[in-house]
Structure 1
Amino acid sequence: MYTSIQELTKYRIFHYFSEVSRIPRCSGKEQQMSDYLVSFAHKHRLQVIQDEAKNVIIKKPATFGYEFAPTVIIHGNMDMVCEKNRDNPHDFNKDPLELRIEGDMLYATDTSLGADSGVAIAYALALLDSKHIPHPNLEVMLTTEEKTTMNGAKRIDPALLNGSILISIDAEEEGTLLVSSAGGVIAEFTIPIMYDKRQPDTVLYDIHIGGLKGGHSGGSIVKGRGNANILLGRVLQHCAEHFDYQLVHLRGGAKANTIPREAEATIAIERKHIPLIHSFIFKWDETLKKELDMADPEVYVQCTSSMRKGNNVFSQETMTKVITALTFMPNSVQSMSTEVPGLVQSSNNLGTMRTNSDHIMLKNEIRSSVYSLQEHISQQMKVLARLLQSRVIFHSEYPAWPYHPTSNIRSLCKKIYKETYNEEVTFVSTHAGIECGILVKKMDVDAVCIGPDIHNIDTPSEHLSISSTLKTWEYLLTILKEMNTM
């Protein structure tokens, strides 16, 4: 076991993981990370390309004896989902991640770790830095905005790459090969706000839902975890059936592609209803703890006197539209695969809820491995928008990565794993949308996706197995070593 980050960084991959963890790289804000990679390439006298999307491609010639082996593209993304606990003052725009070790696990203190992208970058840099690792011609491709729009992969110019094999470092479980993934689209549901005046003799209260685990909506949607936005809608609907109140403000979730861990509503209630609201919230706290006792045992609902000011509240019509949308919006798993046991086929995640000056925005991510089912969920949202005299627009669509019956790189990976560890590697399809779908379609490459064990990804409790990271690194090196047999 390792007791300090300094001790761990004797391995080049963790040296670079530590370096990367000091550089801001929230999705959409990868400029510093992109420039760091360019600087690294120049320092090591390697050919480098930085495009307008801030994607970086670094090329390294083959070592002796591998000149005629297939050129391999090592792929990863440079951005991360920036999540932190509610009271953490960490500023992702400038503060380095505070890494810590617990047993075999590497954490960032009270923030997400960015492990999948961090490991991909660390592996890539260690390969480019190496002088003794045998390998074919390498093209390291690190993309931007993977966690949000996949805009980087969409803007990659395939003419810049010659590789016919793609090894993506974007999986989250050692001993598995990702071989297909879902497609998806972002859906922005907009409800216009009409305002009324706050009733006299009312006070403002905040209803807060928290304590949920959240997680990536591709990998964690099947785990039955609570969606704070949807749960808040249930609470607001129940309260509206039993006493009058006015809705003032709504906010929930952090990203469209993460299951929201927290949500909050500000309401105006008559003073005589204060004991009633406390009683209702106490009962809902008990109810949700029972409903989510296995998936989200730390869930809580609370209400407190609000610090907000002002006399404007949503009109009754607007409030009804909002609660109706939260009640009937498709959410969570919509269908399961009949071909792959346990695989989600289609889903929707109501990821964020924001109150703006003239509208409320409900941002969703729809996922499906079957395009017609993705379209069905989209149609449900369109019908709901028409009924509520609201609007929904769709953008940032990305394709599924279909399973191909034959794959030379997949066969090689399977053979090496069996020979090295005397175990069968597992082929896995994921409900997450990954860039392989875009890249395979764009470049017509033979692809696999690997990675070490990463837990609670994209949450403040995210952690990475150190031993698994080292094992997967050795596995990657063996794959590259055997490329001249293909």
Structure 2
Amino acid sequence: MSVLSGLKPADVFAYFEKLCAVPHGSGNTKAISDLCAGFARELGLKYRQDAANNLVIWKEASPGYEGAAPIILQGHMDMVCAKTEDCPKDMAAEGLDLMTDGQWVWAKDTTLGGDNGIAVAMILAILADQTLAHPPIEAVFTTDEETGMDGAVALDCSDLKGRKLLNLDSEEDGVFTVSCAGGVRLDCLLPGTAEGAAGLAGYEVLLDGLQGGHSGSDIDKGRGSANQLMGRVLYSAMERIPGIRLADIRGGRFDNVICSKNCARVAVPLDRSADFETFIRGFAGVLKNEYAVSDGGLSLTCQKAEVPEAMDVPTTERMLHVLLALPQGVQAMSMDFPGLVQTSLNLGVMGMREDGLHMTVSIRSCIASQKDMVVQRVRSIVEYAGGTVSARNDYPGWQYVKESAFRDLVLEAYRDVSGKDGALEATHGGLECGLFIEKIPGLDALSMGPELHDVHSVRERLSVPSTERVYRLVCEILKRSK
């Protein structure tokens, strides 16, 4: 018996469970794309699958809707793969272990991938339902959204006829997204070569227990970045204990996730080892005080470790100066949407390699010129210190439009179904709508979705009642799109 049997809508959760049985992290989407293509074949529907594993499925209009304009239903197939420290699961090869209490669905010790697997499941259920009233449907499933929207960038939209796009990648029931930030990833390198560290005391420093979260939706919550904070810890130690040498500093797996853990290794002059241990204990108290509300589980510890090689002192100083100077988090708030983050950046991934310290920064802004300004700021800091910066995954924002017939239809349907007025929102998270608007002239877009909490973390959970409400609303929108 399936874990999610008995949940409603039954078809939606049945498809979701099948999707969750297949590994589908970003960059590992061939299997899930093939699975969805197989569903299309079983349903006798026309489909197109491309080299990037994107999938488009067409369903003809139901009787009475033959003359209606097509509508595009869209979601992405990839998920962020994160797990607890003691979870043995290989998420590149194994499916998820789903759990439910009837009100929420989550995965044991891992992310759930409700972002955005529940969208794919909803759309598949719609494609399979022969009783729904609907216009022609163009179902678009993209890949690698979480790592830079590579699938949407690669997708050929020339055979899509729809000029209304319903994106199902939002996470708050009753809130309709009408604008989003654009973004870019910066890969930074601070060069350096390790040398012997004989005669020095080696230490491993661990900063752990932070909440982390999504670098779009959670960046304004004041949560600490372990990557940034470890740079501050070691810079502060360097000020008090000259001669410290950096061997490694490593944290984060995804550039769009606020890093919750960083582990560093340093070499310390033997006669200052006791001072170093005392400093770490003292600075742990400083950080616990500062982050008592946002990251109550924060822990900073050190223990002796083997450190045979480390950067020399000048290279260490250069790297730690950069880490202290790099900005992190919210840079500007929107004047158009009170409470909305306008511009931010996140030092998501860092680690030492043979050629030096590699870092990846995710920059977001709904104002293109401010995005460019933050790129300049990071580039100036890193390059001034002798490093290099390269950009990738540059995607456009989605600018709010005041007049939208499709938005009016959706809000009216929501009001009639729920008895409440829907809320319009601009999001600091990245959505693929901006790319589709660039590719399809005249496209009218809107994003919505069921209640999801703590996405991109092992605490991710999906609301069952919200899923039912949102699915019913999507079906009502299709019914009214005549």
Q: What one-letter code is carried by the residue in structure 1 that aligns with 2:105?
A: L
2:406 equivalent among 398, 405, 409: 409
Q: Secondary structure at the match of 1:6?
A: coil
2:438 is equivalent to residue 435 of structure 1:
no
Q: What corresponds to 1:196 in structure 2?
A: 195
Q: What one-letter code is carried by the residue in structure 2 that aligns with 1:71?
A: P
2:473 equivalent among 475, 479, 483: 475
Contact 1:116 1:169 in 2 (8 A): no
Q: Distance in 1 between matches of 2:350 and 2:187?
A: 10
Q: What corresponds to 2:182 in structure 1?
A: 183
Shift of 1:363: 0.3
Q: What corresponds to 2:28 in structure 1?
A: 29
- Alignment length (residue pairs): 479
Q: What one-letter code is carried by the residue in structure 2 that aligns with 1:192?
A: P
Q: What corresponds to 1:333 in structure 2?
A: 330
Q: Distance in 1 between matches of 2:201 and 2:35?
A: 52
Q: Distance in 1 between matches of 2:322 and 2:396?
A: 27
Q: What corresponds to 1:369 in structure 2?
A: 366
Q: Distance in 2 between matches of 1:278 and 1:472?
A: 54
Q: Distance in 2 between matches of 1:160 and 1:318?
A: 54
Shift of 1:275: 3.4
1:383 equivalent among 371, 380, 383: 380
Q: Distance in 1 between matches of 2:368 and 2:390?
A: 17
User: 191-200 or 77-86, which moves further after superposition?
Assistant: 191-200
Contact 1:74 1:169 in 2 (8 A): yes
Contact 2:8 2:464 in 1 (8 A): no
- Structure 1 unaligned spans of 5+: none
Q: Distance in 1 between matches of 2:67 and 2:21?
A: 38
Q: Distance in 2 between matches of 1:394 and 1:293?
A: 35
Q: Distance in 2 between matches of 1:71 and 1:45?
A: 19
Q: What one-letter code is carried by the residue in structure 2 that aligns with 1:235?
A: V
Q: What corresponds to 1:218 in structure 2?
A: 216
Contact 1:116 1:451 in 2 (8 A): no
Shift of 1:84: 1.2
Q: Secondary structure at the match of 1:250?
A: strand
1:457 equivalent among 439, 443, 455: 455
Q: What corresponds to 1:269 in structure 2?
A: 268
Q: Secondary structure at the match of 1:139?
A: strand
Shift of 1:270: 4.1
Q: Distance in 2 between matches of 1:321 and 1:256?
A: 23
Shift of 1:473: 0.5
- Written as runs of structure 1 = structure 2, the 5 A alignment for 1:68-107 is 68-102=67-101, 104-107=103-106
Identity, % of aligned positions: 34
Q: Secondary structure at the match of 2:224?
A: coil
- Written as runs of structure 1 = structure 2, the 5 A alignment for 1:57-76 is 57-76=56-75
Q: What corresponds to 2:238 in structure 1?
A: 240
CA-to-aligned-CA distance 1:232-276 (integer Å, 9 cap, x gap): 011101111222422111111111111111111011234544433
Q: What one-letter code is carried by the residue in structure 2 that aligns with 1:435?
A: E
- Structure 2 unaligned spans of 5+: none
User: 208-217 or 6-15, which moves further after superposition?
Assistant: 6-15
Contact 1:9 1:15 in 2 (8 A): no
1:313 equivalent among 299, 310, 319: 310
Q: What corresponds to 1:400 in structure 2?
A: 397
Q: Distance in 2 between matches of 1:236 and 1:218?
A: 27
Alpha carbons of 1:89 and 1:273: their partners in 2 closer, same or farther (altered >3 Å)? farther
Q: What one-letter code is carried by the residue in structure 1 that aligns with 2:175?
A: T
Structure 1: which 4+ aligned runs deviate by more than 6 Å? none
Q: What one-letter code is carried by the residue in structure 2 that aligns with 1:240?
A: M
Q: What corresponds to 2:116 in structure 1?
A: 117
RMSD of aligned C-alpha atoms? 1.5
User: 189-198 or 254-263, which moves further after superposition?
Assistant: 189-198
Q: What corresponds to 2:346 in structure 1?
A: 349
